A and B are shown apart, each in its own frame.
Chain A
Amino acid sequence: MKKSLATRSNIYYAVTGLKLLGTVGACVLIMVAEFFIMYYGDDELFKYQMNTLVMLAMMFLVMFNGIFSLYSANWTDSMVLSMGARRKDIFRGQIIKTVVAMVLGTGVVIAAMYLTDQMDHLRIVIGMAIAAFPISALFYALGHKIRKFGKMGFVVIIMAATIGGILFGLNAATPGNPLAAFVRNLNTGAIIGIAVVLYLLFELWAYKLNKKSMVH
């Protein structure tokens, strides 16, 4: 006897989360190969690789999770909606996708850090994992809205991301890395609290948009 629609939807989105992980894994492997070629023979190759790969892996995870969420509202969700999925299953499925990708992905990264005795950035890794949830919810809501604005919406998102990247890079290049210092001094409870509030607000917005979503 076939499983219920809710269960089938959950499985579909859990598999989507795994595919997202696979995409991130492929990108990380490419970076591994690139760094190996670039820094072969360097005494600090292993340590440098690990530090960078941990940060890149988390960055790719957060980024691809957001991108998958942005795409979903107008592409994959529209496809499953046209095949009889319910909107509440799709909404729950998006959360499942993020949980599967972020929990498993972060687990792999932390395991790699532990095995190579590189636990210095654990707090940042966990912080990025937590941040992925409100980012995913925000991008899912934006994905619903973007149809209205079309390519201009994309341009705005890309510009915002570019500016963010420039600011992040400038900060990293600044002696003392003020942003990292600021984050390190933040109360952990405050960070988690802000992330949870933002996550709930963005999910509420996404839920309202999802309720009236249409097949395109």
Chain B
Amino acid sequence: MSTLSGKNLVKKYGKDTVLKNVSVDIETGKIYGLIGRNGAGKTTLLSLLTAQNPATEGEITLDGQPVWENEEALSHICYSREISPLTIFGPNTTKVKAYLATAKAFYKNWDQAYADELVKLFNINVKKRINKLSKGMLSAVTIIVALASKAEITILDEPVAGLDVVAREQFYKLIIDEYAATGRTFIISTHIIEEAANLFERVIMVDDGKIVLQENTEELLSRAYRVSGDSAAVDSAVSGFKSYNPENLGNHKAVTVLANEPVDSFGESVQVEPVQLQNLFYAMCVDTRKEA
């Protein structure tokens, strides 16, 4: 098992600090979900981990070896990012065929047969120019590059943006099938959390340039609860726990609780429900300042 590590990462753009002393460990053989609000620092973190952008401070290693400008480390990583239909010079007139040919040239383990199969599956016209593709087709090309790269650690940044529900389900199935067949590591950054949550063995949540949690998804959700009932009863039941996003409606109150360990009971006077990952994420992002 390998580990892609980022230690004490800081990234500044001018006076703006986008990542604030972030440390993360990615173990191979797992599917990670990377979630966070727009501008939280997800893409920046992924760029640093894959040496696509230089860190202001900190180090990034793969099995102890620096990733920066390291052929061996880079050969194990694929970060397939969102393709822009525009460049600073105007429309991106690169043909899909040329884009995939470049991927073939640079990814050591590129599987052309698999790429061809995926092109057919997503119904992509490879002779089309990138600026003529719809948002969904651009996402499909991103997915094709990621999967056909056959890289040990494969990162997809918002891969389902613009995809219809059928294509999204196809994508999730492809990931599961590929993971089952090869044990590749996937890191998927997405805003459509609820659909993808079942895939994630581990979840990393980024907020305001910091990692607020990186945990096993099942274990995390086993400690997350939605507690509701009479305001006083809820306050009494959740005292001593981290609670987020309190919602009041008259005397009725509901809060999201993230305990340190699974809780057997919050008492008879409140109702307790399990929390989905998306709802936990929402609650934590909306109000991250309420702690025990």
Contacts and interface: CB of A to CB of B under 8 A. Distances in A.
Given A84-B77, A84-B78, A87-B69, A215 B88 contact: no
Interface of B: 47, 52-54, 69, 71, 74-75, 77-79, 81, 87-89, 92, 94, 99, 102-103, 105-109, 145
A74 B89 contact: yes
B53 A215 contact: yes
12 contacts: A5-B106, A12-B105, A74-B89, A75-B89, A80-B102, A83-B106, A83-B107, A147-B88, A151-B88, A212-B54, A214-B47, A214-B52
Nearest to B52: A215
Interface residues of A, number: 30
A83 B87 contact: no
Given A5-B74, A75-B87, A81-B52, 8 more contacts: A5-B108, A8-B106, A82-B52, A84-B75, A84-B77, A86-B71, A214-B53, A216-B88
Contacts of B47: 214-215
A11 B107 CA distance: 14
Given A74-B88, A74-B89, A84-B77, A214 B54 contact: yes
A6 B47 CA distance: 22
Nearest to A83: B106
A80 B89 CA distance: 17
A71 interface: yes
B104 to A, nearest CB: 9
Contacts of A216: 88
A86 B74 CA distance: 9
A2 B215 CA distance: 37
A117 B147 CA distance: 56
A209 interface: no
B38 to A, nearest CB: 18
Contacts of B145: 83
A85 interface: yes
A83 B69 contact: no
A84 B106 contact: yes
A107 B89 CA distance: 31
B52 A86 contact: no
A216 B52 CA distance: 9
Nearest to B72: A5
A123 interface: no
Give the interface centre of A4, A86, A88, A150 by most chain B CB atoms within 10 Å: A86
Contact of A146 (B71, B88, B92): B88
A80 B88 contact: no
A180 interface: no
A71 B94 CA distance: 12
A204 interface: no
A208 to B, nearest CB: 13
Interface in A61-96: 71, 74-75, 79-88
A40 B16 CA distance: 65
Contacts of B81: 82, 215
B147 to A, nearest CB: 14
Contact of B71 (A4, A81, A82): A4
Given A4-B71, A79-B94, A215-B81, A85 B106 contact: yes
Contacts of A85: 106
Contacts of A80: 102, 106
Interface in A130-179: 146-147, 150-151, 154
Given A84-B74, A86-B74, A215-B53, A2 B108 contact: yes
A88 B74 CA distance: 14
Contacts of A86: 69, 71, 74
Nearest to A2: B108
A88 B69 CA distance: 8
Given A5-B75, A71-B89, A87-B69, A79 B107 contact: no
A82 B92 CA distance: 16
A151 B81 CA distance: 25
Contacts of B87: 74-75
B56 to A, nearest CB: 11
Q: Which 9 A-B pairs have the closest CB atoms?
A: A83-B106, A215-B52, A214-B53, A5-B71, A84-B74, A86-B69, A12-B105, A75-B87, A84-B106
Given A75-B89, A215-B53, A8 B74 contact: no
Given A12-B102, A79-B102, A84 B107 contact: yes
A11 B102 contact: no
A73 B99 CA distance: 16
Nearest to B92: A75
